[in-house]
Amino acid sequence: MSLIKSEKSKNEKNVYTLKFSVDKDTFAKAVSNAYHKQVAKINVPGFRRGKAPRSVIEKMYGKGFFYEDAFNEVLPAAWEEALKESKLQAVGNPEFDVESVDDANGVVFTAKVSVKPDVKIEDYFGIEAEKAVAPVTDEEVDAEINTIRERNARETEITDGESVMGDICHIDYEGSVDGVPFDGGKGSDYPLKLGSGNFIPGFEEQVAGHKAEEPFDVNVTFPEDYHAKELAGKAAVFKTVIHKIRHIELPDLDDDFAKDVSEFDTMDEYRADVKAKIEKRHETEADNKFEEQILDSLIEKMKADIPEAMFAAETDNFVRDYENRLRMQGLDLDTYFKYTGMTVEKLREQLRPQAEKQVKLRLALEKIAKLEKIKVTKKDINEEIQRIADSYQMEPDKVREMVPEESVAEDMKVKKAMDLVKEKAVIKA
């Protein structure tokens, strides 16, 4: 098996054509293997199934009858050797073609392949970016505590009393405008939480104050900007009846509540902890925005002629990740497309900008890692493999089988480059 070294040529920006060959003996063996695999499936008049000579089959169906299977057998190893000897950093999937094939010389392949581009980047240290940590308000703390309070509420069914705001009322309703029912204006046993704001303004307040099985009318006016234009601004009457009232009793915000929902003994301690957690969240959000500005600046500073194959391949990765997330939720792409009207083409179009950004950022950081001579040690790699293993509950050796150490090392260099750029970034005053 040999590479025709003189036949490496550049076609366009970062796209090369490699011409490489497989010697006649290697190819002849692959053709023979293809014959032995297929002969049992081929019917030839005058021969029992599986007993027809190769020469007879080739005379009957053509000299190249077994070539395709033979190509598939020899191509992977030949391509790997050709790529290695060419010293090109291929990206995406190559486009293979067969240039020639004969018994005397074997087979000659060509491959059109995209490669990583040369990258230029300057002034990547000292990038200025804003970092504003939002202050924590009392309203945020109250909202956080009220969420926990609602989770710990007690629910009782009211059988002989009137509904009040905050109750969940199971209602039947039918709306009409000028005495004529309208589409979408009817519901049965709908669980409406009074005060949720899910219905037209004024509706929920009029449901309050009524008993179960007591028919009543709700009079409301649709907002002028209502999504159904034929109802916008119209007065409507809803014939309504409550079938069940579920009263939600919230616990008092006292020290006992704090003990029940946290490790603290007093409400003051619990409230201070909630505030600290929100502050931490705000800091994380500010850090993320700060980092995002730095990444955008890096991409702007990076110059490279990036081949389309890199963007397409990364978009494929994004689609696979999207599908994996759906599967974790018990869905697949076909089902998702069916219920959302999405298509794989639309999904790719939607994910493409993210993919392009990821490709550009990776190239920029790889170049910075090279310029700054960033290194990773064997210890660094082992610790990262252990971290991956722990996060996926796998054995480290299994991770090594799935992810080459070289890939782990490259990822770590990129991460160290990002950390270095962030460390040297400047917060705008």
Among residues 85, 115, 145, the one where a domain terminates is 115
Residues 290 and 412 in one domain: yes
Q: Is residue 213 part of a domain?
A: yes
Q: Is residue 124 part of a domain?
A: no
Q: Is residue 279 part of a domain?
A: yes
Residues 230 and 379 in one domain: no
Sequence letter at residue 7 = E
Residues 180 and 100 in one domain: no
Among residues 180, 214, 249, the one where a domain terminates is 249
DSSP 8-class letter at 120: B
Residues 288 and 419 in one domain: yes
- Tokens 């696979």: give the residue: 320
Residues 274 and 386 in one domain: yes
Pairing of strands 426-427, 128-129: parallel
Residue 122, burial from CB neighbour count under 10 angstroms (0-12, 13-18, 19+) = exposed
DSSP letter for each residue of 16-63 = EEEEEEE-HHHHHHHHHHHHHHHGGG---TTS-TT---HHHHHHHH-T
Q: Is residue 392 part of a domain?
A: yes
Q: Is residue 286 part of a domain?
A: yes
Structure tokens at 37: 């695999």
> Quick one: pLDDT at residue 11?
61
Residues 212 and 333 in one domain: no
Instruction: Supply the pTM of this predicted model.
Output: 0.70
Domain interval for residue 99: 2-115
Check: CB of residue 248 under 8 Å from CB of residue 155: yes
Q: Is residue 145 part of a domain?
A: no
Residues 237 and 312 in one domain: no
Q: Is residue 307 part of a domain?
A: yes
Q: What is the total count of domains within the chain? A: 3
- Tokens 């990822």: give the residue: 411
Check: CB of residue 274 under 8 Å from CB of residue 139: no
β-partners of residue 20 are 3, 109
CATH number at residue 193: 3.10.50.40
Residues 392 and 312 in one domain: yes
CATH number at residue 92: 3.30.70.1050
Residues 366 and 304 in one domain: yes
Query: For residues 176 and 186, what is the distance between their CA atoms, to the nearest angstrom?
Result: 9
Residues 243 and 273 in one domain: no
Check: CB of residue 363 under 8 Å from CB of residue 117: yes
**Tens digit of each residue's pLDDT, the chain (429 residues):** 444 443 555 666 788 889 999 999 999 999 999 999 999 888 888 888 888 999 999 899 998 999 999 999 999 999 999 988 888 888 888 999 999 998 778 899 999 999 999 999 999 999 999 999 999 999 999 999 999 998 998 989 988 899 999 999 999 999 999 999 998 899 999 999 999 998 999 999 999 999 999 999 999 999 998 888 899 999 999 999 999 999 988 899 999 999 999 999 999 999 999 999 999 999 999 999 999 999 999 999 999 999 999 999 999 999 999 999 999 888 888 888 888 888 999 999 999 999 999 999 999 999 999 999 999 999 999 999 999 999 888 899 999 989 889 999 999 999 999 999 999 999 986
CATH number at residue 330: 1.10.3120
> Quick one: pLDDT at residue 103?
73
Residues 226 and 320 in one domain: no
Among residues 221, 249, 277, the one where a domain terminates is 249
Q: Is residue 11 part of a domain?
A: yes
> Quick one: pLDDT at residue 1?
47
Residues 171 and 28 in one domain: no
